[in-house]
Amino acid sequence: MSPLPTAHVPLPDLAFSEDGAPYSREFGDIYFSRAGGAAETEHVFLRGNDLPMRWQGRPHFTISELGFGTGLNFLVTYREFLRRCEPSQHLHFISVERYPLTPEMLAQAHAAWLPAEDAPLLKSLLDHYPLRLPGWHQLKLPRCTLTLGFGDADTLLTTLDAQVDAWFLDGFSPAKNPGMWEESVLAQVARLSAADASFATFTAAGAVNRALQAHGFDVQKTAGFGHKRDMLIGKRANKTPTPPSTPSSIFVIGAGIAGATIAHALAERGAAVTVLERTCIASGASGNPAAVLYPQLTKFYTPATAWHFTGYDFMLRQIARWKALGLNFTHQQPGMLRLPRPDQSAEGFASLQLDASIMRYVTRTQAAEIAGMDVASDGWFLPHGSWISPPELCHALLQHTNITLREQTGVQSIARDGNQWRVTLDSGEMLAAEQLIVANAGDAPRLLADYPMPMGISAGQVSIIPAPVPPLHCIISHRGYVIPAGEQWLMGATYDRSDYSGAVTDANHAENLVHARAALPGLALNETSIIGRTSLRATTPDRLPYVGELAPGLHVSIGHGSRGMISAPLAAEILAAQLFHEPIPLARNLLAAIHPRRRTKAK
């Protein structure tokens, strides 16, 4: 029986020689040549793949590496790409690493070796470095997307969806680390290769040479770097395929977080996007003044947990990037204290094996210190726990020159019409869409009646207590949540599957208050000026959203339930990557788990 999945990501057994060169004690091998790491990258991997020459005239170029290690190959390649290529060109760099270095280790590994000119690139990598979670992570850097997989190459590559133009085969030497050069790994290299893909590697091992030839590469021995006599390079002999076409005009239905993030992701890629919204921006569940970025905790790292943590990690980095790009929205990261619900024990989540940098166990005393007030029990602290203002974010995302927003524009129906989708508006106006993305939550099933997907609706009321409120220093998550949102508190949210009227009721306020008091004993609040907001969430039976292509040219991003803030932004990048034929930032098994055509039991 295979072990239950956890979020454990092993650390490298990293050591440093006297001159500061990093090496692995476990493998007994070095990360890069002491004869000059950057020069080795240029000789072996860049020139070995005929780079930068092959970048010329390519709007996109995809490199994939086996063994991210210290990221030196990446940094040197990125520097050369920025130097040699036009601003309109984009580098996709994919790399896998079973024993990722921590940010502190990365900084230490480069301290003595990295040329000073590359220091800003290292800083950029560290600023975007993902949380220590298994699976794929997408780092969106200027003119470059780094897709970093934490896990065993053998398994990770089977979950990858990409067309690789050049390979950097850089596992430790085959004699010391045969696992990285297995036939199964090289078979994945072949599967993921574009028709004219090339590879380069520091090794000249006969077995590697033969295996790559067997997989269709013309392999050559050439002069190695430093004291190494030979190395291998190779190319697939096929003709360069014509690049697939990318969409120029796209319609998105819905201007909540799902629609706003997908519209922005497409607009950033140069597409003209029209957003059709029945009422106004963020009028549904994305209209609450504050929302928590909160991944679901379970006993094991199930597909749903993996999806939500991957989305959480991705959203944290998107927030930083959007802010750096000048988007203006409220976001705070006070951390989140997760207290067990009545049917859970605080210790229960230890089996998830999340890294302590993501979530750590705290005693009740420690938790109270973090919160600044008494709390009911021991719990878990998530230092990246954040809240944002969804309406402000949706507004900021939709302000893009490539986006046309049409509010008060309800869609009555959609229908296939030749190669296009015909969109009939409530006004009777008809539009033709080459690509159509349905992102309007609860109203989607009506438009998609030909494609039944089990979905439910749950009403959620939040309660807002205006100032003065007690000084709470972090977000509290329990049976509900308490967000110290500036001067006020926002508490939520109820789950109601019977009343869809949108009414704000005292009974729901009372429920939110009971939950908050159970988490924060002795809580004294002035409830006289409590106000509320109720909205409807679109839910799915398995708590995973529906994301993907439903029919040619028809895509969905719906069913995000109460986790739209961490689920929709990743969904947006997945759809955009699919439409633009980029490496997909999610494992294929998880893509299948969120696909709208998966089998889900109706509830």
Footprint of ligand SAM (CB under 6 A): 12, 31-32, 65, 67-73, 96-99, 152-153, 170-172, 177, 179-180
Tokens of residue 590, six digits: 């998880």
The nearer residue to ligand SAM, 156 or 448, going by C-beta atoms, is 156
Residue 496 DSSP one-character state: B
d(CA 533, CA 168): 53
Q: How far is the CB of 81 from ligand SAM (least distance, A)?
A: 15
* Smallest separation, CB 157 to ligand SAM (Å): 9
Closer residue to ligand SAM in complex, CB, 99/294:
99
Burial class (CB in 10 A: 0-12, 13-18, 19+), 427: exposed
Nearer to ligand SAM, 70 or 540 (CB): 70
Q: How many other C-beta atoms are found inside a 10 Å radius of the C-beta of residue 598?
A: 15
Shortest distance in whole angstroms from residue 203 CB to ligand SAM:
10
Nearest to 145 by CA among 583, 598, 594: 583
Looking at beta carbons only, is 93 or 99 nearer to ligand SAM? 99
Q: At its nearest, how many Å lie between ligand SAM and the CB of residue 372? A: 41
Is the distance from CB of 173 to CB of 182 less than 8 angstroms? no
Helix H or strand E segment including 387: strand 386-388
Q: How many CB atoms lie within 10 A of CB 586?
A: 28
The alpha helices in 281-388, defined as continuous H runs, are: 303-324, 364-371
Closest contact distance (angstroms) between CB of 184 and ligand SAM is 11
Residue among 167 and 307 whose Cβ is closer to ligand SAM: 167
The secondary structure of 430-473, three-state, reads EEEECEEEECCHHHHHHHCCCCCCCCEEEEEEEEEECCCCCCCC
User: Least distance in Å: CB of 98 to ligand SAM?
Assistant: 3
Helix (H) or strand (E) holding 336: strand 336-338
477: three-class secondary structure by DSSP: strand
Minimum distance between the CB of residue 402 and ligand SAM, rounded to whole angstroms? 36
38 touches 72 (CB < 8 A): yes
Which residue, 180 or 197, has its beta carbon nearer to ligand SAM?
180
When the beta carbons of 355 and 378 are compared against ligand SAM, the nearer one is 355
Name the residue nearer to ligand SAM (CB basis): 67 or 445.
Answer: 67
The Cα–Cα gap between 31 and 106 comes to 12
